[in-house]
Structure 1
Amino acid sequence: MDHTPNLQLDYLLPNQAQRYVTVNENTRRLDSLIQLAVLSASMGTQPTSPAEGDRYILPVGASGMSWDGFASGSVVSFNDGVWIGHAPAPGWLAYVVDAEDILVFEAGQWGPPRRMGINGAPDMANRLAVHSDAALFSYDSGTPGAGNVQLKLNKESVGHTASQVFQTAFSGRAELGLAGSDDFQIKVSPDGSEWASGMCVSSASGFVGVGTMAPSVRLDVNGTIRSASPAGEPHLTNADSDTILAPGESIDILDFSGLIFVVNMTTGGLAQYICGGGMTETVASVTSLPGALSFASSPNRYVFTNTTGATSAFRFLLLRARDAA
């Protein structure tokens, strides 16, 4: 073997004449390739007045009296008044001065590093892996518009996903972002397999849906609403949506002062009751009474009973004026 396998440095041979020539050539090669920093990787025309030691990575189509003889991707250096070409090997790294970038040579071409691990091992699915108790993204005070910072997640098209996933033991538990559409969603999962959408914000209207993926008003809630407030403050509760009660069956309602609206979803009967101090008064009814509302000291609750004689579905709306407490 006449040269080294990696940098192709020539060995000194026994009884070789003018050994200094070989040593100097090897020194030039080391000076060109160690701590490799090239002026540009996009310069397409050989410069007319290069400085001693200037280095470039030749792009495709690079031309010039000397550069025409080198393959694209070659590292060329100007030493002792002549251009010398160096064929890169997989894994070579180079800093590009004009682009302020780092390139790596792999698969026959120069490009940005494809994977990076900080205290952890990346893979082809997670090309950036960071193992750390915290990570900080802060504004850049050295650029125009300093003081702003954005984290951008860009997907290819509407049907793809751009989201943040929160995991427990590498199993998904919550996700927020654009999951399979352009509507913003918040989803949760107990096991990483089954997912439930908690909220959806329509990208077309800005309407917010809770329990629905197609909100049709500013706040569209499909299901029970309960707004808990401290004792003595009004709040609204939509409790036990579509509760099924057999004839004579009852349901307990909280002890409070306020209004209770009851709708029999089966017969259409509707009634409004005013309650307080353990007493109840029927304010109005439509079509027929949906049932009977009374107060039971034990368990200290208002009790609604299905008195229609048939199994029915009931819906309750409570407007609380003051807790009994």
Structure 2
Amino acid sequence: MPNSPNLVLPYIEAAQAQKHVTHNDGLRVLDAAVQLSVLDRDLTSPPASPSDGDRYIPASGATGDWSGKDLNIAAWQDGAWAFLAPREGWLCWVADEDVLVVWDGSQWIDAGNVASLNPASGGLVGVNATADTTNRLSVTAPAALFNAEVDNFNFKGNKSAVGDTVSFQLQQGFTTYGEFGLIGDNDLSFKVSDGTSFFTSFKIGNADGEMAMEQPLGLKAYSKSSLPPVSPAGRLIWVWDDADGAQVAYSDGGGWKRIKDGTAVA
């Protein structure tokens, strides 16, 4: 008697006697396979007192009535075990673990560990969060790790045109207070916000690497008695009690010098 190609459901033959037998056999297969959910996938021997309709995935090394049916679907129907061999792509809910698994052709794996989601269905992926059409990848977690597979690892963000933006936004309460990236041009910009307005602190030109301050530069203030170490050279500070009045000073690696005349802070 021919069967259907996927679920191997028995067809009713023309002029067949006792058609209800074939029909009911097909319904039993559907009852076991449709909306597939099993109670457990770790047992190697059948439970002593199963209830009608109970389903399991016999673990490797199955014994007794499950012998030779490792990783199949075992369904208790009409007082006996019926078995379904899974096909690649079958999904199954494992009730005692609250996990969705998928048959990859040789084993059941967690559906979240499928080797490829390329592309993810609908283009939305949420991890402990709900993704939407704007935030198509949404993650709620204490941390996220991206690890180099071999040697190097690059974060990449690509925009379509020079006037577009690709940036990192740093938020509190979903309000952005810090942003850096290629914002409206191809210079690297660093911005802050009071929650309403944005202020560019500085930019690094993409053509020459030159840094341009967009806001006044505030130097850390020191007294003559509390000057920081002179190394490394090239740093700038504000000395508020120099003998000639408040001064901007620089370190030459050997001492702190007034920037106005190169003499030592005194």
TM range (shorter): 0.5 to 0.7
CA separation of 1:137/1:188 partners in 2, compared to 1, >3 Å: closer, same or farther? Answer: closer
The match for 1:260 among 247, 260, 263 is 247
Find out whether 1:49 has 2:39 as its counterpart: no
SS of residue paired to 2:24: helix
Indicate conservation of the 8 Å contact 2:45/2:62, yes or no: yes
Find out whether 1:96 has 2:97 as its counterpart: no
2:120 corresponding residue in structure 1:
117
- In structure 2, C-alpha distance between the alignment counterparts of 1:150 and 1:162, rounded to whole Å: 21
Indicate conservation of the 8 Å contact 1:119/1:130, yes or no: no
CA separation of 1:117/1:32 partners in 2, compared to 1, >3 Å: closer, same or farther? Answer: same
2:208 corresponding residue in structure 1:
none
RMSD, aligned α-carbons: 5.0
Which segments of 5 or more consecutive residues in structure 1 lack a partner in the other structure?
A: 123-128, 139-148, 177-186, 199-223, 229-234, 244-256, 274-288, 292-314, 318-325
1:66 partner letter: D
SS of residue paired to 1:78: strand
1:133 corresponding residue in structure 2:
134
1:169 corresponding residue in structure 2:
159
- In structure 1, C-alpha distance between the alignment counterparts of 2:12 and 2:110, rounded to whole Å: 37
CA separation of 1:120/1:270 partners in 2, compared to 1, >3 Å: closer, same or farther? Answer: closer
Find out whether 1:290 has 2:262 as its counterpart: yes
Q: Which has the higher contact order (CA 8 A, sep 6+)?
A: 1
Which segments of 5 or more consecutive residues in structure 2 lack a partner in the other structure?
A: 171-178, 191-212, 223-232, 236-243
Structure in which a larger fraction of residues adopt strand? 1
Q: How big is each residue's C-alpha offset from its partner over 1:71-97, in whole Å with a ceiling of 9 and x where there is no partner?
A: x22001011111011011112111111
1:285 corresponding residue in structure 2:
none
CA separation of 1:262/1:7 partners in 2, compared to 1, >3 Å: closer, same or farther? Answer: closer
Aligned residues: 201
Report the structure number with the largest CA radius of gyration: 1
2:174 corresponding residue in structure 1:
none
Structure in which a larger fraction of residues adopt helix? 2
- In structure 2, C-alpha distance between the alignment counterparts of 1:29 and 1:82, rounded to whole Å: 13
2:143 corresponding residue in structure 1:
152
